[in-house]
Structure 1
Amino acid sequence: MSAKTMQTAVATLALCFIPLSIAAGEVPFAEQELDDPDTFVTITVENDLFAGRDGGYTNGIGVSWGRGPFQTMEETDSPEWLQSMAHAFGIHDDTQHFNAATYSIFQGIQTPSDITNSNFEPNDLPYAGILGWRGTIHSWTESRAEQFSLILGMVGPASLAEQSQKAVHKITGSDEPMGWDYQLHNEPVFALQARRSWRHEISNGDGHGVDFIGMLEASGGNFSSYIAGTYMVRWGLNLQRSHASISVLPGREINPLAGTNTEEYYVFFGVQPRYVFNDIFVDGNTFRDSPSVTIKNERLIYSTGFVWNWKNWGLLFSLAETTSTFEERKGNAKFGSVSISYRL
């Protein structure tokens, strides 16, 4: 990624979110009693085999944990430096908002379409993996939610992606991936991500309802830089309690309200147009020559699925489809995600 691309991405990130810090129209939980904060743990598995194919973004696994809701950000016991970064991107911290902090350790794996080919394929995605940490600050009201995330990780052999994929394929009897000698080099990566969403209730009766969620999102860093808008429709029970961590790729988030004492569920459909400035899984290493292909900046992501929370448990299943991430190949990529949450 060139210095000019990095500057453009960071400037876009700032322009998208700093003005939003002065936006009005807060709808506080003024009449709602704050529940006792709880600790949640989520295990997530993503795989393109859930969608019936192998190749591209092929697998991801993560463990997330979080605690909330709290009346103030300080009560989340999140690091002060992470709170300061969230404040810099306009994330609110006042008594009109609920707050939570969540963390994740995750691994993601990408391969070309033909993993049995032991030769270098210049016109397909490179072998790549990431082992990363993500910290997120959540702030939300009944009609609005804000998030700031910091991703830190390592791309390359240090991600242990090769060992993970070979072990899983051996256990499942799948084809052995043969091209990991051509994976990206070791490189530390980071991304600053900010998101703001607005919830509009369309109908509500006996707890069941329909709502519409609009979202603005941006990311900047050598891992990935993009801007995006998301549009989502949901139908279900107690929707006003479950919108704080909505995402077009919900398997990659932890819901700070998962595992509540009341039953909550919904089905959803979302679409996200996205403009990508840089993506290390497509562009290759930032400072060294490595396998790469030509990035396709304009992308479109669709997703659908359902979420169910009951007593101490939460379950999420989603299917996502995205247009091609690079110019050398046409055609969409698909993958599915399963998350199980438990309230400790």
Structure 2
Amino acid sequence: MQKIFCLLFALSAFLSTGMAAKADGQFPVTIEHALGSTTIPAEPQRIVTLGWSGEDVVIALGKKPVAMTEYGFFQSGIFPWNEERLSGFRPQLSKGETDYEAIAALRPDLILAVLSGVDDVAWQRLSAIAPTVVYRSGPWRADWKEQTELIGHALGKPQEAHKLITDSADFLRSLGDAYPVLQGKTFTFATFFKGANNLVVYLPSDPRVAALTELGLTVSPGVAALAEANPSKISVNVSLEEIERIDSDLLIMWFGDGGKDAFEAQPLFQTIGAVKRGSYVALDDPVSVWSTSALSVLSIPYGFPKFVPRLAEAAHRAEQKQ
């Protein structure tokens, strides 16, 4: 009886992921996600990725998408950690998620939009073109683990995807362990756009914040309070006058064109606790911005070995000022 119960419990836990129990290379595959159910009848050959970093997982699993998102920060429009793996292959690049005619013209047999803002209407239209897999969590909420798991199953490579997740998580933990000064330090992750009068502060449900906690960092009390007050959001606006609400050991910010200079020119900039302590970390080069924002099993090992030492240096400075 106990053996039967254990088997039933294991089956229930597995089915809760929305995936069928298949070894690598087995089709058809059916995936349950936030907008419904998608069945991929055979191994996909013409894959289109929408949103952020889905192409990273496809490429890491040995396939090359026929089309993917264009990232204007880079001259080629392609992340450098992907460009070196594409070996000269040039996918079609897209700036949006809803150019249905252009997507249909590519004759895809699979569309992947896991870290994206695709809603039910868009999913229905995309699904009329090809089987379309979106997020389980919500629009723009899928972390790198969710994205890898879903895409791995869609490509018929769940075991290979699981190993990528395990290896990447181990990599993050080992990086954190290599810098004991980071353990338990509080942080706030935010951005500022030129012309604005507020910060955009990312909450724990945002993938970039979740990844930093795997290093041993802790979300600042102010951000945790904002998350409790805004349970359905992944980011909130905080005025510059209220920035002390989110003070933390480390203030990490990414910037687009002109944003860094505009933020640092604000009269209140020098009053920020992290700035006074020397523990403000500014990310404004394309690699540091995108490897920490569009997280994936390829961007983490590419960008984090340079990013994490900067955090450790800032944490040391913060300790010296205490």
Give TM-score scaled by structure 2 length.
Answer: 0.24
* Structure of larger gyration radius: 2
Higher strand share: 1
Higher helix share: 2
Could you say which structure has the greater relative contact order, defined with CA pairs below 8 angstroms and 6 or more residues apart? 1
